[in-house]
Amino acid sequence: MNKKVRRGLTPYLGILLIMLGVLYFINITNKKTNYLTYDEFINQMNKGNIVEINITPRSNAKVYEISGKLKDYQKDENFFLRAPLSEEVMSQILIGEEANEFKIKTSADPSSSTLLYIALNILPFVVLIGVAFFFITRQMSSANKSMDFGKSRARLNEDSKKVTFNEVAGLKEEKEEVQELIDFLKDPKKFQKLGARIPKGVLLVGPPGTGKTLLARAVAGEANVPFYFISGSDFVELFVGVGASRVRDMFKQAKHNAPCLIFIDEIDAVGRQRGSGIGGGHDEREQTLNQLLTEMDGFGENEGIIIIAATNRPDVLDPALLRPGRFDRQVQVNLPDKKGREEILAVHARNKIFSKNVNLSNIASRTVGFSGADLENLLNEAALLAVRKNKKAITMSEIDEAHDRVLMGPAKKSKKYTDEEKRMVAYHEAGHAVLGIKLDGANDVQKITIIPRGYAGGYTMMLPKEERFTATKKELTERIIGLMGGRVAEELVIGEISTGAHNDFEQATKIARAMVTEYGMSSLGPMQLEQQEGSVFLGRDYNKSRNFSGQVAFEIDQEMRKIIDECYKEATRILKKERKLLDLIANTLIECETITKEQIDYLVKNGCLPSDDDEIDESDFKELSLEDLTLAELKDLAREYKIKGYTKMSKEQLQKELEKYI
């Protein structure tokens, strides 16, 4: 029986026993008992007043217990006496019974029952011993917990074998880097024959959500070896020396199961640089790190143990941790490219039902900068929206809405603009769109909307036309021109400026300053005048190192102003030239509020929006129901509908609750 169920039944059982005891006591107290002597009993028997008697022998006390009723007794009244345990007493009772013909009942001697004897004589001692044993073991378990304080918190993942490289998409080069670890764990003699030494440690470096933990689990699954996982924060405790003790115990456990993998997530929590004293000292962290360094490559040998660690801040790690012999290899797990995103989408789309007009390649093109976790969340949000709308399959409409929700938050459709404010927002976003259409180096316009989302009153979704690792001066300049389009359109058409362009100016200023101080794209020449300077212990890039004089700072400001002013003038020139297109897009936005890339292209070519698409044939769809969603997706949907207690519900309970709303 479940512990929670037992705990819930215990109070009710206690109450029931108390009630039974009270009823028994009331029943006992309601009966009236008259105590007679043996002589009085014989006297009443000779007079013929006895109606019935019950005789119970007590061999231990050597007496008969006699109870019964007299003729003048009430219903709940009886008598009771004790007589010597002898044949003479029984012969007198039998003689009286022949003379007066009253009923005689005899009960067995309770002391003759083995079970009753055990219950009365042995059971109390057993109960006392059991209670004492319970309290002793409880004290010992609490003592053991205190003794286990320094034990390793690393947990053996039994499900690691279920994850293989088939579940890891978009990381082709990264999988090739760790393939050697799998080959070594399967056949170490192949490497030892040529004198090769497998890396003792592999550090996975990359932004959050790119699949570092998934890749480590897949390595363990492919190699079919034990997989221990632990977080860097599990080593650090208040008491000095506990973390080092846990490191020793972790490697001790791993040696017994070698060959095996140890995965340390967020290793920067324990592996930060030592000795600077900035941000406060922490002897416990330093001792833990020292022990980890010793275990990885010290006097002891850890054959067959491979450590995989993950972090998104390799710059804060101690140099001794990154040297050869400890973490020999660093694997960069970067954000996926278009092909990688398409593969990741295909993995997460396996258990979902899509309409025929959904193209994963197009979705991958529109999700530049998305990590694997972001893409999984995108499809999950689209599935939730499809169920909420009672659709039979996920369409591009739900995917578009999910994309906007992931980036900007849900649409605030209840927020209403005034007519003048709506017109200003429409021209602002149309200004960005026109420049994006007419400039080759500017970002490509994917979607325009004037429906507020998050903190934005409206936005123009612009993505790079091609994914590139470098950018030319012309491309950067045209990006700034595109960012100026909103303010220029307001000033040109409305004759007034608003606060809506503050984020545009922030991005434009960053690009212009980087062009001058970092990229050498100004008259100051090919010099890097500024560089990011991060704090190791704070983990933030708060400052920039400036290696220039006040005169150079003035020249930097002049160059930035020159770039911004030239871009502003160019944006004004283009929008004046394309005033008809600006008015066309703005008026369409005022009417429709949202237009997509396909509609924008049609609008530029034909001067109007396309007619409504034909209704999609329902035969193209398969039924999409609550049964098709996972437990996590059902919980997300329950949160949207504000269902109370959904976190504790099973999948079947959630489906029943959601059927009331859907």
496 is catalytic: no
**pLDDT for position 111:** 58
Helices (H), 101-238: 114-117, 123-147, 172-186, 188-193, 212-223
Average pLDDT, the chain: 76
CA–CA distances in Å: residue 135 to residues 11, 125, 138, 140, 373? 21, 16, 5, 9, 49
Question: Which element (helix H / strand E) includes 265?
Answer: strand 260-265
**pLDDT for position 620:** 41
| Rounded mean pLDDT, 483-512 | 88
Give the position of tokens 């917990």. 145
Q: Which of 243, 371, 230 is nearest to 310 (CA)?
A: 230
**pLDDT for position 536:** 43
In the predicted model, is pLDDT for residue 623 greater than 50?
no
In the predicted model, is pLDDT for residue 299 greater than 90?
no
| Rounded mean pLDDT, 302-319 | 81
Q: How many CB atoms lie within 10 A of CB 572?
A: 18
pLDDT in tens, 105-157: 777 666 555 565 566 567 676 777 777 777 666 665 554 444 454 455 555 66
Residue with more model confidence, 586 or 646: 586
Lowest mean pLDDT among 169-173, 381-385, 592-596, 641-645: 641-645
Catalytic residue, candidates 266, 343, 429, 559 = 429
User: Could you tell me the pLDDT band of residue 622, with boundaries at 50, 70 and 90?
Assistant: very low
The proportion of the chain whose per-residue pLDDT surpasses 90, expressed as a percent, equals 5
**pLDDT for position 279:** 43
pLDDT in tens, 34-90: 788 878 888 888 888 788 888 888 776 677 788 888 888 877 788 888 888 777 777
User: Could you tell me the pLDDT band of residue 226, with boundaries at 50, 70 and 90?
Assistant: confident
pLDDT in tens, 155-200: 566 554 567 788 888 888 888 888 887 887 777 778 778 877 777 8
pLDDT in tens, 254-274: 777 777 788 888 888 787 777
Cis? peptide before 259, omega within 30° of 0: yes
pLDDT in tens, 350-401: 888 888 888 888 888 888 888 888 898 889 888 888 888 888 888 888 888 8
In the predicted model, is pLDDT for residue 619 greater than 50?
no
In the predicted model, is pLDDT for residue 24 greater than 80?
no
Given a contact cutoff of 8 angstroms between Cβ atoms, the answer to whether 501 and 485 are in contact is: no
Q: Residue 306's beta-bridge partner residues?
A: 261
In the predicted model, is pLDDT for residue 11 greater than 50?
yes
